[in-house]
Amino acid sequence: MQEISQRASTRNAAAVLIFALCCLVSSAKLFLNATTPADDVAQRSDQRLAALKATLPGRGVIGYIGESGNTGTADYYLTQYALAPLVVEHSPNHALVVGNFPTARPISFPSNLQLVRDFGDGVLLLRYPSLTEETR
């Protein structure tokens, strides 16, 4: 009877040990597969817009044009975040205008805008020639 009890105790201990080991392996997989900062949408947007931000003034208001639809709205908010403390207004009626087209560059721009620089990856700096900093 004592031998049966000891075998059952050994089996129970082995089962608990295997269960704990499985839990540790599962936790390790979750940790290793967790989202890394490089997968962060805001961080990717910051990286896409970093060169543009370096050429813009440190403060003020600039315009914005971009893709339409739900992804366009998200891109607009990410641009505001990446270019802060600049105020980014969803309007082309500013001396400087950011063009944000992550999926496809447009064939043409509104006729009142001129391309200043293409930063690649769908990031453009445009200007509205008839507007100056004083008339905004």
Residue partners of 58: CB distance under 8 A and separation at least 6: 85, 86
60 and 118 both lie in a single domain: yes
Of the candidates 81, 86, 112, 117, the residue with the CA atom closest to the CA atom of residue 99? 117
* Structural domain includes residue 69: yes
18 and 70 both lie in a single domain: no
Each residue of 4-16: pLDDT tens digit? 677 778 888 888 8
60 and 119 both lie in a single domain: yes
Each residue of 54-96: pLDDT tens digit? 999 999 999 999 988 777 899 999 999 999 999 999 999 999 9
Q: Phi then psi for 122, rounded to 5 degrees?
A: 80, 10
92 and 119 both lie in a single domain: yes
106 and 55 both lie in a single domain: yes
86 and 54 both lie in a single domain: yes
Number of domains into which the chain is organized: 2
Range of the domain at 7: 2-34
Q: Is residue 117 scored above 90 in pLDDT? A: yes
53 and 25 both lie in a single domain: no
Q: Is the dihedral of CA 96, 86, 98, 48 positive or negative?
A: positive
Confidence (pTM): 0.67
* Structural domain includes residue 45: yes
* Structural domain includes residue 132: no
Token pair recorded at residue 101: 């087209």
Report the C-alpha gap between 65 and 81 in whole angstroms. Answer: 15
77 and 117 both lie in a single domain: yes
Q: Is residue 136 scored above 70 in pLDDT? A: no
30 and 86 both lie in a single domain: no
11 and 67 both lie in a single domain: no
9 and 44 both lie in a single domain: no
